[in-house]
Amino acid sequence: MAILVNRESRIICQGITGRNGTFHSLACRDYGSNLVGGVTPGKKGAFVDGIPVFNTVEEAVQETGANVSLIFIPAAHAKDPILEAVDAGIEVIVCITEGIPPLDTASALFTVKEKGRVLVGPNTPGIISPAEKCKVGIMPGYIHSPGPVGVISRSGTLTYEVVDQLTKAGMGQSTCLGLGGDPVVGLSFVDCLRLFRDDPNTEAVVLIGEIGGSAEEQAADFIKAEFQKPVIAYVAGRLAPPGKRMGHAGAIISGGSGTAQGKIKALKDVGVEVVENLTKVGQVVREVLK
């Protein structure tokens, strides 16, 4: 078991014939993911290393029964493919694209929620369930291993760092996913915690937060109210000056709110094990799960 994606997932890639779309679709398939098709308008009938390409998502869904989509479309045009995936019935939409105008994301997200679908990202490394051999994203597959730890993060490479530590400490992962570094993203920490709560194969969760917004504070409220499994957290950005976007569009302290200190306190207050030294996360998880 895992959350959101598993060996049953039937995945298409929107933008499969682009450089990144091709590279990562094939990397996902090499990992074991069930890549059933791709979409690039005007390229129907083509194949990307044996993967059939369709003109529309609707057609791809009809022909392949796809229910998960991985989106690699340039930021200026990325709202439309999200809506196209929703209308075609895709259940889990993973949008890798960075730099989408936030109002575009917000408007697409409105429809995603209205139709009860899941949007992961944008600006996410994606989602991976190692025991299910299912990777829908751009993360390096080889650092992951199957096991009982769920990982949720707002960052890419920081997640790789933590997952690498977990694997080296002998702590495999059930599902790892990035929420995305933008100010407005689909899936939240709370959404993921709810899914991990109900996943019998997840025994503990590592939550990797960063400055900006209040997703960590909301996670703390949820953990207090209805999450029993152990949570280990790391929050990046204690040295971030206010008003500056720290690489991620969403990583900004504005008007004194969204500080790492505030988030760390909120999580500690509800009993979350907050690790201050990034390099100790793997070790702490191992101690907690002993």
Partner 1 sequence: MNLHEFQSKRILMEKGVNVPRGTVVYDALEALVAARNLKTDKIVLKAQAHSGGRGKAGGISVLSIDDDVKKVAERILQMTLVTNQTGPQGKPVSALLVEEAPRIDAELYLGVVLDRNHGEVTIMASPAGGMDIETIAREAPEKIFTVKVNPLRGLCPFQARALAYKLTDKNILANQIANAAKALYDIFVGYDCTLAEINPLVVSGETLLALDAKINLDDHALFRRPQMAALRDRSQEDPVELSARLAGLSYIRLEGDIGCMVNGAGLAMATLDLISIHGGSPANFLDVGGGASEQVVADAMNILLDDKRVKVVFINIFGGILRCDVLARGVIKAIKERGLELPVVARIEGTNIDLGRKLFADSGLPIQMMSSLDEAAQLVVAKAKELSGN
# binding residues, partner 1 (CB under 8 A)? 65
Q: Rounded to whole angstroms, how far apart are CA atoms 115 and 262?
A: 34
Decide whether 10 or 79 has the Cβ nearer to partner 1.
Answer: 79
Q: Does 246 interact with partner 1 (rule: CB under 8 A)? A: yes
Tell me the window of 6-14, 28-36, 64-72, 207-215 that interacts with partner 1 (CB under 8 A).
207-215
Q: What is d(CA 226, CA 213) in angstroms, rounded to the nearest whole number?
A: 22
Sign of CA pseudo-dihedral 233, 237, 242, 246: negative
Say which residues have a Cβ less than 8 Å from residue 62's Cβ, sequence separation at least 6: none
Of positions 156, 173, 204, 219, contacts partner 1 by CB under 8 A: 156
When asked if residue 128 is in the footprint of partner 1 (CB under 8 A), the reply is no
Q: Which helix (H) or strand (E) holds 54?
A: strand 51-54
* 225 is a site residue for partner 1 (CB under 8 A): no
CB 9 within 8 A of CB 120: no
Residue closer to partner 1 (CB basis): 194 or 229 = 194
C-beta separation of 182 from 156 below 8 A: no
**Is 24 one of the annotated active-site residues of the chain?**
no
Active site residues: 248
Instruction: Write out the residues near partner 1 by the rule CB under 8 A.
Output: 75-76, 99-103, 105-107, 109-110, 125, 138-140, 143, 153-161, 164, 181, 183-184, 188, 208, 210-215, 218, 234, 236-251, 255-257, 260, 276-280
